[in-house]
């Protein structure tokens, strides 16, 4: 058992952010060829690619800080479900296009203030990754916001689907902007923000988009969590089974 | 020694001028602004620093290999490293690069100083276009269609 130091904490935190980005990238990848039009398939693929790239850089940095020689692939492919600490929101399975865009809006509205904060982190390597993440997340948010407005202010069918997606995903939103001991320790050293400090901006962003879209916030006050401690919904296991199948069957395979 | 070093770095830079983006082959890595530095290491190897355009840009792996290959042909052993700070911006794209992009049929990124809503169609030069998708064939581009000549075209997004 390693003693907890700022370095081990930072490594744990980087893997957490990496997991968020890897898992949503995989979900977006699953949806390619199911979007309502070809251009949106391209957009979904490229958004996923941005998240995958960020995950790779975060895992690589986590491995360097850890110093045990773990590579980005080791983090992505060789860990069991309980070791993943992504937020529950990003693992929720794709249903329809409205669901994809609502999940993306909720996630983008969290990532923009997160990356903005981290681009001034005391860890310069993390700050560099975050500065790039901020540019990308800002663009993602612009796209997801405009889609939610088009869906909400579109047909009765598109508005109903968007509202159903909001209801279905609302319970996973508080977890994004709730802090824990890990963040508190790192925040005291000026390395990361407390997620709860991002809650205000998240709410303002989401409320403004929903108002433009003539959609309502989720009506069910129930909120759930567990992702940050590795306790997931039943949906992460099957996702990882598909993601990791090759490396689990043929460990270390390269080509 | 100083002249040798300068001469070597110049030779390396000349070789690197032949390394292009595999997805936009008219642009060299210097044109795009992703070549961030060239240096000689104490052990005699060449250090080339590059920065990604987008976090997930799949071309970066190919570009790394191309850099090593072109310098190996010139007799140099090379280490390619990635830098993230400061983050890449389309402001670093050279004017020459922007001209080449337009000639290739891709609307170049506009300067942040003069940004307007107009993106000039690389086919007919019209400033009237509409966005088809916020992403094009790669993450660095989006897809527009010219409302004058009716041709769709990629626009290299400002970043």
- Region A149-161 average pLDDT: 97
User: Does any domain span residue A146?
Assistant: yes
ipTM given for this complex: 0.82
What is the domain extent for residue A117? 6-215+230-249
Chain B positions in Cβ-Cβ contact with residue A43 (cut-off 8 Å) = 133-135
Mean predicted lDDT score pLDDT of chain A: 95
pLDDT band at B85 (very low <50, low <70, confident <90, very high): confident
Neighbours of B38 (CB within 10 A): 19
Interface probe, candidates B139, B140, B154, B155, chain A, greatest A C-beta count within 10 A = B139
In total, how many domains does chain A have?
1
CB nearest to A42's CB, from B55, B85, B135: B135
Residues B23-46: tens digit of each pLDDT: 899 999 999 999 999 999 999 899
Q: Residue A17 is part of a domain; what is its CATH number?
A: 1.20.1260.10
User: Does any domain span residue A255?
Assistant: no
pLDDT at res. B116 = 63
Chain B positions in Cβ-Cβ contact with residue A133 (cut-off 8 Å) = 55
Dig out the tokens for A224 from the structure: 């759930």
Contact B139 A50 (CB under 8 A): yes
B59 touches chain A (CB under 8 A): no
Exposed e or buried b per residue across A30-44, where buried means at least 16 C-beta atoms within 10 angstroms of its C-beta: bbeeebeeebbbbbb
pLDDT at res. A108 = 98
CB nearest to B55's CB, from A42, A57, A142: A57
Chain B positions in Cβ-Cβ contact with residue A139 (cut-off 8 Å) = 134, 157
Nearest-Cα residue of chain B relative to residue A48? B56
- Region A48-73 average pLDDT: 95
pLDDT at B112 over 80: no
Residues B45-65: tens digit of each pLDDT: 999 999 999 888 888 999 999
pLDDT at res. A2 = 61
pLDDT band at A4 (very low <50, low <70, confident <90, very high): confident
Chain A positions in Cβ-Cβ contact with residue B133 (cut-off 8 Å) = 39-40, 42-43
Contact B132 A39 (CB under 8 A): yes
Q: How far is A43 from chain B (nearest CA, A)?
A: 5
Three-state SS sequence of chain A? CCCCCHHHHHHHHHHHHHHHHHHHHHHHHHHCCCCCCHHHHHHHHHHHHHHHHHHHHHHHHHHHHHCCCCCHHHHHHCCCHHHCCCCHHHHCCCCCHHHHHHHHHHHHHHHHHHHHHHCCCCCHHHHHHHHHHHHHHHHHHHHHHHHHHHHHCCCHHHHHHHHHHHHHHHHHCHHHHCCCHHHHHHHHCCCCCCHHHHHHHHHHHHHHHHHHCCCCCCCCCCCCCCHHHCCCCCCHHHHHHHHHHHHHHCCCCCC
Query: Domains along chain B?
Result: 2-82 (3.30.300.130), 93-156 (no CATH)
Interface probe, candidates B23, B82, B91, B135, chain A, greatest A C-beta count within 10 A = B135
User: Does any domain span residue A225?
Assistant: no
Q: How far is A182 from chain B (nearest CA, A)?
A: 25
pLDDT at res. B2 = 61
- pTM of the predicted structure, to 2 decimals: 0.91
pLDDT band at B1 (very low <50, low <70, confident <90, very high): low
Ranges A125-129, B33-37, B130-134: which has the least confidence: B130-134
Query: Which residues, numbered 61 to 100 in chain B, qualify as contacts with chain A under a Cβ-Cβ cut-off of 8 Å?
Result: 83-88
Contact B54 A136 (CB under 8 A): yes
Contact A39 B138 (CB under 8 A): no
pLDDT band at B21 (very low <50, low <70, confident <90, very high): very high
Residues A164-202: tens digit of each pLDDT: 999 999 999 999 999 999 999 999 999 999 999 999 999
Dig out the tokens for A21 from the structure: 């980005």
> Which residue would you say has higher pLDDT here, A137 or B3?
A137
pLDDT at res. B118 = 80
pLDDT at res. B5 = 87
Q: Are B81 and B87 in contact (CB under 8 A)?
A: no
Residues A26-53: tens digit of each pLDDT: 999 999 999 888 889 999 999 999 999 9
Residues A74-101: tens digit of each pLDDT: 999 999 999 999 999 999 999 999 999 9
């Amino acid at each position: 058992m390693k003693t907890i130091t700022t370095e081990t904490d930072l490594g744990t935190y980087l893997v957490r952010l990496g997991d968020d980005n890897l898992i949503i990238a995989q979900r977006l990848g699953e949806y390619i060829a199911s979007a309502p039009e070809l251009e949106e398939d391209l957009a979904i693929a490229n958004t996923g690619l941005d998240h995958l790239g960020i995950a790779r850089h975060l895992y690589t940095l986590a491995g360097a800080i850890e110093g045990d020689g773990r590579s980005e692939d080791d983090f992505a492919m060789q860990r069991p479900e309980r070791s993943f600490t992504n937020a529950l929101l990003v693992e929720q399975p794709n249903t329809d296009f409205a669901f994809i865009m609502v999940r993306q809006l909720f996630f983008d509205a969290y990532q923009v203030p997160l990356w903005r904060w981290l681009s001034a982190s005391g860890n310069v390597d993390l700050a560099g990754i975050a500065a790039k993440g901020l540019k990308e997340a800002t663009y993602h948010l612009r796209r997801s916001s405009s889609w939610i407005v088009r869906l909400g202010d579109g047909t009765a069918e598109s508005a109903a689907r968007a509202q159903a997606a909001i209801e279905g995903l609302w319970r996973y939103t508080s977890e994004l902007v709730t802090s824990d001991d890990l963040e508190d320790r790192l925040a005291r050293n000026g390395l990361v923000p407390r997620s709860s400090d991002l809650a205000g901006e998240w709410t303002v962003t989401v409320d403004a988009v929903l108002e433009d879209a003539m959609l309502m916030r989720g009506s069910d006050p129930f909120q759930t969590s567990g992702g940050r401690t590795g306790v997931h919904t039943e949906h992460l296991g099957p996702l990882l089974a598909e993601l990791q199948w090759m490396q689990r069957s043929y460990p270390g395979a390269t080509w | 020694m100083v002249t040798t070093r300068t001469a070597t770095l110049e030779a390396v830079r000349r070789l690197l001028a032949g390394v292009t983006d595999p997805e936009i082959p008219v642009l060299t890595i210097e044109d795009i602004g992703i070549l961030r530095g060239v240096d000689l290491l104490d052990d005699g190897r060449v250090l080339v620093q590059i920065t990604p355009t987008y976090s997930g840009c799949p071309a970066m792996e190919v570009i790394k290999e191309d850099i090593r290959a072109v310098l190996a042909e010139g007799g140099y052993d090379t280490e390619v490293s990635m830098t993230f700070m400061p983050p890449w911006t389309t402001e670093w794209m050279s004017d020459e690069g922007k001209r080449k992009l337009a000639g290739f049929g891709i609307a170049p990124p506009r300067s942040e100083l003069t940004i307007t809503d107009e993106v000039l169609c690389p086919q007919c030069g019209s400033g009237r276009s509409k966005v088809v998708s916020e992403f094009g064939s790669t993450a660095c581009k989006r897809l527009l269609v010219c409302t004058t000549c009716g041709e769709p075209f990629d626009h290299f997004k400002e970043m």
